[in-house]
């Protein structure tokens, strides 16, 4: 988690550039800004990192998902297939687009599976919102085959998987649109921020307009601009963009260190009989922000978690009981508790959210424990943590033997 690990002279320099001019707004003010355009530079840096033709920075990863959906033409009444294991923003974005979330099965990649998507398709299915979870990537060959066969729109929420790729193509660039989060807990942070990416010029222009009240951003007189579409304010400020820019430049270094640490941990912990890891469809494309351990069953995972707590091992997530990454705890969604009516209430839920049958997802998340990997770990921190994890797992296995 770069934001919490690395914050230094590079970030301060980019912020200071903005403070020198006092122009905190990303558009206009050409005469006063002394050619400082941090949002634009941030977008170029992200586009370069992932190999995208276009990138548009916004105020958060959540608003980036909204832009990605809108720019891909997903809206009122569309059924959108989503995973039951994701940061809840993905599901919220579908709901606030006026669309209807349909939950489908994930598999050991921790992402929607091709089979899960196929089973959830109905005549009303318009799109799949594929979420690349825990720094890894979905099995794109299998998923693209289903998307193409059924003529669906693919939108990727790579909120936690920027800088991950599958067979050389970055997460976020397989779909019509994709997006990344730069909140404080991602591989790079802007404090708060997000970036929508696409190789499609029309989608890019739509996102650019949509994220700023529909402004077309042509010319340098904001009051005289045209409005090709209705939009809203999802803008990023120059200060946040400045941080995001400096952080994005650190990502190749972070990814390399993360991968080195993850490989060591997998080699060591893999020696324990019964310990497996989430499937990596492309092991060379991992952003390695998480070590994703799969234990033989939920019972053993729960025992291991208890041992971690007892032995003072920290830095892990047991998503099965986590309040906002897993559907078992999303009572507000299941019960339709909303501030104001959405299309789920108006048109009716496409599934019985209270009685979903997702056994593969349940058993997979029940077995999963994810450790945040730090690029800044020293060798001794890495070996010490790894042996503590091993000891806790081994004693859980002995307890249940």
Ligand X SMILES: *Cc1c(COP(=O)(O)O)cnc(C)c1O
What angle do helix axes 61-71 and 89-96 make, rounded to 10 degrees? Answer: 40
Least Å distance, CB 187 to ligand X, is 11
Least Å distance, CB 317 to ligand X, is 12
From the candidates 186, 205, 303, 374, give the one annotated as an active-site residue.
Answer: 186
Least Å distance, CB 57 to ligand X, is 12
CA distance 230 to 253: 40
As a residue count, the chain comes to 401
Least Å distance, CB 214 to ligand X, is 22
What are the residues whose beta carbons fall under 8 Å from the beta carbon of 159, sequence distance 6 or more?
A: 61, 64, 65, 87, 89, 90, 131, 179, 180, 181, 186, 194
Please report which helix (H) or strand (E) contains residue 201, including its range. helix 201-210
Assigned token pair, 100: 């209807």
Nearer to ligand X, 237 or 386 (CB): 237
Assigned token pair, 11: 């970030």
Nearer to ligand X, 322 or 383 (CB): 322
Whether the CB-CB separation of 138 and 132 falls below 8 Å is answered with yes
Whether the CB-CB separation of 23 and 238 falls below 8 Å is answered with yes
CA distance 382 to 138: 27
Nearer to ligand X, 50 or 389 (CB): 50
Within 10 A of 363 (CB to CB), how many other CB atoms are there?
Answer: 12
118 labelled catalytic: no
Least Å distance, CB 398 to ligand X, is 35
- Which residues contact ligand X by CB under 6 A? 60-62, 65, 86-87, 89-90, 131, 157, 159-160, 181, 183, 194
Whether the CB-CB separation of 211 and 71 falls below 8 Å is answered with no
Whether the CB-CB separation of 296 and 400 falls below 8 Å is answered with no
Nearer to ligand X, 131 or 291 (CB): 131
Nearer to ligand X, 136 or 160 (CB): 160
Least Å distance, CB 61 to ligand X, is 2
Nearer to ligand X, 155 or 300 (CB): 155
CA distance 351 to 330: 15
By CB atoms closer than 10 A (0-12, 13-18, 19+), residue 332 is exposed
Active-site positions read 186
């Amino acid at each position: 988690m770069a934001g919490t690990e690395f914050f230094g002279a590079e970030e301060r320099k980019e912020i200071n550039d903005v403070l020198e001019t006092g122009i905190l707004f990303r558009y206009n003010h050409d005469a006063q800004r002394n050619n400082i355009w941090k949002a634009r530079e941030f977008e170029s840096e992200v586009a370069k990192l992932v190999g995208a033709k276009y990138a548009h920075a916004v105020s958060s990863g959540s608003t980036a998902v909204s832009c990605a959906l809108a720019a891909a033409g997903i809206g009122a009444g569309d059924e959108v297939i989503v995973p039951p294991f994701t940061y809840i923003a993905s599901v919220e974005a579908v709901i606030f687009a006026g669309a209807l979330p349909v939950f489908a099965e994930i598999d050991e990649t921790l992402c929607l599976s091709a089979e899960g998507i196929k089973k959830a398709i109905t005549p009303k299915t318009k799109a799949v919102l594929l979420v690349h979870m825990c720094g890894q990537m979905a099995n794109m060959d299998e998923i693209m085959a289903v998307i193409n066969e059924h003529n669906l729109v693919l939108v990727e929420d790579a909120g936690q998987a920027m800088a991950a790729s599958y067979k050389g193509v970055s997460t976020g660039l397989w779909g019509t649109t994709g997006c990344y989060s730069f909140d404080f807990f991602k591989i790079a942070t802007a404090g708060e921020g997000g970036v929508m990416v696409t190789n499609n010029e029309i989608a890019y222009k739509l996102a650019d307009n949509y994220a700023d009240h529909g402004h077309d951003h042509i010319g340098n007189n904001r009051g005289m601009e045209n409005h090709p579409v209705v939009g809203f304010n999802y803008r990023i400020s120059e200060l946040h963009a400045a941080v995001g820019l400096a952080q994005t430049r650190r990502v190749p270094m972070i990814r390399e260190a993360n991968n080195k640490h993850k490989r060591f941990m997998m080699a060591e912990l893999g020696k324990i009989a019964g310990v497996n890891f989430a499937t990596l469809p492309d092991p060379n494309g991992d952003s390695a922000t998480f070590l994703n351990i799969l234990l033989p069953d939920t019972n053993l995972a729960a025992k291991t978690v208890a041992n971690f707590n007892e032995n003072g091992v920290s830095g892990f997530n047991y998503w099965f009981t986590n309040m906002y990454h897993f559907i078992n705890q999303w009572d507000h969604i299941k019960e339709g508790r909303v501030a104001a009516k959405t299309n789920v209430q108006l048109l009716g839920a496409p599934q019985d959210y209270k009685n979903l049958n997702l056994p593969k997802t349940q058993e997979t998340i029940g077995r999963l424990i994810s450790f945040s990997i730090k690029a800044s770990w020293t060798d001794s921190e890495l070996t010490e943590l790894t042996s503590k994890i091993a000891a806790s797992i081994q004693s859980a296995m002995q307890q249940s033997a």
